[in-house]
Amino acid sequence: MTSAYQLKRVPERFFEGQTDLLTLARQLGDENLVERLLMCPHMNEPMQPFWGDVTDSWHQLSMTSSEKPDISLWNAGCLLLGQRAHQVLRLHLTADGEFLPITVDGEPMHVFNCLMWGKEDMSLTEKAYLDGYEDGIATLAFDEADVAEKMIFKSKLEAGATLYASAKFKALVERSGLQGVRFDADLMDPF
């Protein structure tokens, strides 16, 4: 059984909210926050101390995007949760990050900022090299015992930019009928 999944978009079906960092910094009242916002996933930094009144709108990712998701990816290291997804997931995700209020096209929602690292299994993780220099990672695996009880987590080797989920989280989302993300057992596939 797979112990970890990469969370991915479903652009052929769902809209997505995604605010660029300059717009987000302006909404938070300080353009100088751009660099800090950029580093939040990597530094595993909470955004609550400087969060404020943030709005977003739905964006069509493909010609066939036509539905609002219950749950979707939002910028690096974050999820966007509709009211139903927030009600279902909030108690399960509390230990893994923070919830931040946001309004998307007039609808109250929540950004979930993941603050949980998953421990990589270095015996199964392989670094990539280009011309003899380290260039990211070629394969990624997580320590099954470490991630089994976590819901959502990030990889330090990937600088926290990608969200991963446990089999436990996948089962909860599927059992609850939440729509908007897919779970890919290939942890390195960018598509």
Average pLDDT over residues 98-122: 96
pLDDT at 1 over 70: no
Average pLDDT over residues 35-56: 94
Q: What is the pLDDT of residue 190?
A: 82
What is the DSSP annotation of the chain?
---EEEEEE-TTTB-EE---HHHHHHHTT-TTHHHHHHHHHHHT--SGGG----EE-EE-SSTT--B--SEEE-STTEEEE-HHHHHHHHHHHGGGEEEEEEEETTEEEEEEEE--BPPB-TTT-EEEEETTEEEEEEE--B-HHHHTT-SEEB-GGGTT-S-EEEHHHHHHHHHHT--SEEEES-TT---
Average pLDDT over residues 117-123: 93
Parse the chain into domains and list their residue ranges.
Answer: 4-176
pTM: 0.93
